[in-house]
Amino acid sequence: MQLLVIGGGGREHALIWKLKQSPRVEKIYCVPGNGGIAELAECLPALAVDGALVGWAVRQGVDLVIIGPEAPLVAGMADEFEAAGLPVFGVCREAARLEGSKSFAKEIMSAAGVSTAAARAFTDLDEAVAYLETGAAPYVVKADGLAAGKGVIIAEDFEAARRAISDCLVDRRFGDAGRQVVIEEFLAGQEVSVLAFVDGKTIKAMPPAQDYKRVGDGDAGPNTGGMGAFAPAPFLDEDGLAGVVTGILEPTIKALARRGIIYKGVLYAGLMLTETGAKVLEFNTRFGDPETEALMPLFDGDLVEVMLSCAQGRLAGVDVPWSTAKSLTVVLASEGYPESPVTGREITGLVEAAKKDVVIFHAGTRLEGGKMLTSGGRVLNVSAVAGSFAEAREKVYEAVKLIKFEGMRYRSDIGIMGRGD
């Protein structure tokens, strides 16, 4: 089979790494790819992710298209490939609204009877601030649209919340994604990510994961796309996971189906495990990043067959096996991330680090003149699998010490603080 993977981050590198292990794979193309992906697939950075790519895939005889990032899904790229007769692993445009619009997601959750935080959406600054005055700190302010994981602000006081609203609606800090803001009830508890393969009807959940969104140790600093993750998260046992599937994922898929929206791909529920049960913080309509870098090393099946079965609506008859080991990944980021990452710096120590029984997934890298350079905010993901989180953590941080690039930053507390032991 020939595969086309769209995306160029750590998530796509982890997926390609696992896809490459399938005996069914003859060739993998990736648009645009990165320096690490280039070792496993033919990267085509010059091909734009637009309608022309569909024609290229048809002419090339691609057998399965895998769309990694949210932006092309929200733009309807899966619909274009399907219209051309190609099997696609990735949700349609209407289903992608579940991530592309937080207000739409709340509407679907309400229709599905899914438990979530109370929230209201606003486009007017004065109305939003007036509503803010009826609540109490801490406040949760979200840009309604796609903001690369950085559009959620947890404000500790009224003034910070008012400033966050103004940043969205007036200063347009998040561009069109912030034309509408959602002010949401703050929820306390353990945060867990539950991802699942979906073929329109059948849902098969992956092991629960937990990621670290704040840039600094101890959950300090601004939100990022994610600084690390581990799986399986011990806070959600098998019964709890089954409850998430029957109480959250299935009703959501059915609520979409009642509107004529058939969901095929990955459904990602960001949950808060509160004293009164699991509540949805957000839905994503694709693999999480960096959760994927922790989950793929635990997957023991044929990822090509699973993805193809989702595209063809036959997931029920396909095995989706997982290791019982523990997995942990740490993100190495550029100086200035997430606000203003500095790029173009040489990375050394990758060969030596890879000898430490870890897998290194590239996120923001490019190969230039025989040197591996940084090219984004999140640069590398170092992942390890072991019998315990403590052992996996030790492997990862030993490898991290060998990797160098100017301004490199990472969290030193992934899997500790009582969250992953």
Q: Which amino acid is residue 40, in one-letter code?
A: L
**Half-sphere exposure (CA, 13 Å, Cβ side) for 341?**
21
Residues 81 and 107 sit within 8 Å (Cβ to Cβ)? no
The rounded distance, in Å, linking the Cα atoms of 163 and 158 is 9
pLDDT of residue 420: 43
Listed residue (103, 104, 101) closest to 121, CA to CA: 103
pLDDT of residue 87: 98
Q: List the end-to-end C-alpha distance of the chain, in Å, as a whole number.
A: 40
Both 58 and 72 in one domain: the answer is yes
Containing structural domain, residue 203: 188-317
Q: Looking at the predicted structure, is the pLDDT value of residue 419 above 80? A: no
The rounded distance, in Å, linking the Cα atoms of 310 and 304 is 10
**Number of other CB atoms surrounding residue 317 within 10 Å:** 7
Both 123 and 163 in one domain: the answer is yes
Which residue's entry shows tokens 């004529």?
260
Residue 170 structure tokens: 């007036």
Residue 370 structure tokens: 């025989």
Both 137 and 72 in one domain: the answer is no
Listed residue (327, 355, 341, 328) closest to 405, CA to CA: 341
- State the total domains in the chain: 4
H or E stretch covering 56: helix 51-60
Domain-terminating residue out of 184, 206, 239: 184
Both 49 and 133 in one domain: the answer is no
Domain-terminating residue out of 184, 213, 230: 184
Our measurement of the distance from residue 383's CA atom to the centroid of its chain's CA atoms, rounded to an integer in Å, reads 16
Q: Which amino acid is residue 223, in one-letter code?
A: N
Our measurement of the distance from residue 152's CA atom to the centroid of its chain's CA atoms, rounded to an integer in Å, reads 15
Residue 301 structure tokens: 């099946």
The rounded distance, in Å, linking the Cα atoms of 299 and 291 is 13
Exposure string over 200-212, b if 16+ CB within 10 A, otherwise e: bebbbbbbbbbbb
Both 310 and 196 in one domain: the answer is yes
Peptide bond into 297 cis (omega under 30): no
Confirm whether 104 is domain-assigned: no
pLDDT of residue 185: 86
Both 218 and 300 in one domain: the answer is yes
Confirm whether 406 is domain-assigned: no
CATH number of the domain at 214, please: 3.30.470.20
**pLDDT tens digits, residue range 112-163?**
999 998 888 899 899 999 988 888 889 888 888 887 666 788 888 999 899 9
Domain-terminating residue out of 296, 317, 338: 317
Residues 144 and 178 sit within 8 Å (Cβ to Cβ)? yes
CATH number of the domain at 19, please: 3.40.50.20
Confirm whether 106 is domain-assigned: no
Residue 233 structure tokens: 């998260």
Q: Which amino acid is residue 334, in one-letter code?
A: S
For residues 41-55, average pLDDT: 93
Confirm whether 405 is domain-assigned: no
Residues sharing a CB contact under 8 Å with residue 276, sequence separation 6 or more, in sequence order: none
pLDDT of residue 171: 84
The rounded distance, in Å, linking the Cα atoms of 216 and 234 is 23
H or E stretch covering 77: helix 77-83
Q: Looking at the predicted structure, is the pLDDT value of residue 28 above 60? A: yes
Residues 360 and 208 sit within 8 Å (Cβ to Cβ)? no
Among 44-48, 144-148, 181-185, 390-394, where is mean pLDDT lowest?
A: 144-148
Confirm whether 363 is domain-assigned: yes
The rounded distance, in Å, linking the Cα atoms of 293 and 359 is 9
Residue 68 structure tokens: 């990694």
Residues 115 and 278 sit within 8 Å (Cβ to Cβ)? yes
Confirm whether 98 is domain-assigned: no
The three-point CA angle 376-352-346 to 5° equals 30
**pLDDT tens digits, residue range 340-386?**
999 999 999 999 999 999 999 999 999 999 999 999 999 999 999 99
The three-point CA angle 45-50-56 to 5° equals 70
**pLDDT tens digits, residue range 237-267?**
999 999 999 999 999 999 999 999 999 999 9
**pLDDT tens digits, residue range 56-77?**
999 999 999 999 999 999 999 9
Both 205 and 312 in one domain: the answer is yes
Confirm whether 67 is domain-assigned: yes
Length of the chain (residues): 421
CATH number of the domain at 134, please: 3.30.1490.20
Q: Write the DSSP symbol of residue 50.
A: S
**pLDDT tens digits, residue range 300-327?**
999 999 999 999 999 999 999 999 999 9
CATH number of the domain at 339, please: 3.90.600.10
Confirm whether 34 is domain-assigned: yes
